[in-house]
Amino acid sequence: MRRMVDLVQRSKLERAGLGFYPTPFERMPRLEREIGGPRLFVKRDDLTGLALGGNKTRQLDYLLVEAIKKRADVIITTTGLQSNWARQTTAAAAKLGVKTVLVLRTAQFDETPKEFDGNLLLDHIMGADISFIRMKIDEDPRDILESVAERLTAKGHRPHVLHLSHMESPLAAASYAEAMKELMGQTKSTGDLPDWIVVASGCGTTHAGLLAGAKMLNLGTKIIGISVGAFTKKKIDAVIESAFDGASELLGSSHRANPRDIITLEDYVGEGYGKPSRESLEALRLTGRTEGLLLDPVYTSKAMAGLIDLAKKGYFKKDDSVCFLHTGGIPALFPYRDYFPPPNGDHILTESE
């Protein structure tokens, strides 16, 4: 494997140095006024780098160290058709000079794509070998991935498989414990350290890392995970607890997860994973029109819908500081274009206008 960067030490854990850190932390004053408070901020992890960025970049920064060490020449992984994980994995592999093989599940789309768009188009442009299987998002094609790895090994390759379990791993969570340290450094001088962080929860790993980081740093920050419907609350909470404990061990801390600290809300799932709700579409438009901040239709728009609803219901105090963790996913907007029809009637500018 061609090494684009040297492995570096960070809190005794090695990382590949793939992302752009620190990501911006900024206030959202117009959205704040629109919904009547509390004080709103956004942590822009949609700007981590790797082909339009996202939260997976931080995780891959740690997870790909093993692939580098064993000199893998192919990365094999899986998720859904419009996967942020697949896009960022493909980008990371490209930077490291290796091939990516994607086994993508149809998930919420129920059928294989007729055209490449959004994340899938970017995967293709970056040179991924892509195949499709009809499978739900909560099913695990482990045997298929291992079969692909065996075929590549027989041809003389050195494949490295990133299973679904890697996305739920303590190492992935540790990356967001470190992100909490970054956030603390950004807000220490301004006094804007969040009382709350709101984040979209797919499997719960990012949530776990944020919670672990807050505890290890002795912060009072509470983490709210807004489920997007990929997994049940029971599954998400179990991942959070396990990943928290594992990340804590990796980072040399004695802290262990307390189930009472885990806040996972299922109220904003709507009709299910990958299916925008009326509230999430409204949140997406409102955030765009007040802050020029684009959200995605699967994850962050549902998390923002949750944040807005909680604020309007008085869940937060008016002087609380609430940070929205933007986990990326913008390329997925384009395959969902039918949810955003143009105004009725075409408006053509004439000479008289």
CATH T-level assignment (fold) for domain 8-54+170-339: Rossmann fold (3.40.50)
| Lowest mean pLDDT, pick from 5-19, 49-63, 250-264 | 5-19
CA-to-CA dists, residue 312 to 269, 305, 308, angstroms: 18, 11, 6
Which amino acid would we find at residue 82? Q
- Measured distance CA(167)–CA(155) in Å, rounded: 28
Residue 83: active-site member: yes
Going through the chain in order, the beta strands assigned E by DSSP cover: 8-10, 13-15, 25-27, 39-44, 74-80, 99-105, 129-133, 159-162, 196-201, 222-227, 263-265, 321-326
- The top-level CATH class assigned to 57-167 is alpha beta
Q: What is the pLDDT of residue 103?
A: 93
pLDDT band (50, 70, 90) for residue 350: low
Read off the pLDDT band of 95 (50, 70, 90).
Answer: very high
For residues 82 and 295, which has the higher predicted lDDT (pLDDT)? 295
54 φ/ψ angles, rounded to the nearest 5 degrees: 140, 170
Q: What integer is the mean pLDDT of 54-64?
A: 96
Q: Pick 111 or 332 by higher pLDDT.
A: 332
In the structure encoding, which two tokens stand for residue 263, read together? Answer: 């806040």
Q: Report how far apart, in Å, the C-alpha atoms of 149 and of each of 96, 141, 152, 154 are.
A: 19, 13, 5, 9
Encode burial over 321-353: b for 16+ CB neighbours within 10 A, e otherwise.
bbbbbbbbbbbbbebbeeeeeeeeeeeeeeeee
Task: Give the separation between CA 245 and CA 256, rounded to whole angstroms.
Answer: 5
Q: Kindly state the average pLDDT of the residues 159-177.
A: 91
Question: 8-54+170-339 and 57-167: same fold?
Answer: yes
Residue 5 DSSP one-character state: S
pLDDT tens column, 224-253:
999 999 999 999 999 999 999 999 999 999
Q: pLDDT at position 346, please?
A: 58
Give me the amino acid identity at 334.
F
Q: Determine which one of 83, 175, 280, 301 is catalytic.
A: 83
Dihedral over alpha carbons 117, 122, 127, 24 (to 10 degrees)? -170
The answer on pLDDT for 108 being more than 80 is no
Q: Does residue 194 have a cis peptide bond before it, meaning omega lies within 30 degrees of 0?
A: no
**CA gap 308, 69 in Å, rounded:** 44
Name the least confident of 41-50, 51-60, 109-118: 109-118
Distances (CA, A) of 88 to 56, 67, 310: 7, 15, 31
Cα angle at 26 between 21 and 27, to 5 degrees?
Answer: 165
Q: Which of 197, 202, 199, 206 is nearest to 173 (CA)?
A: 206
3-state SS class at 2: coil
The domain limits of the chain are 8-54+170-339, 57-167
**pTM for the model:** 0.92
pLDDT mean over 6-26? 78
Structure tokens at 127: 């040179």
pLDDT of residue 7: 36
Task: Name the token pair of 329.
Answer: 């996913």
pLDDT digits (tens, 9 = 90+) for 143-166: 899 999 999 999 999 999 998 777
Give yes or no for residue 181 having a pLDDT over 70.
Answer: yes
Q: Which amino acid is at 140?
A: D
Give the pLDDT band (50/70/90) at residue 44.
Answer: very high
pLDDT value of residue 351:
56
In angstroms, the CA 328 to CA 166 distance is 19
- Least confident interval from 60-74, 129-143, 255-269, 337-351: 337-351
Sheet holding 129-133, edge to edge: 129-133, 99-105, 74-80, 159-162
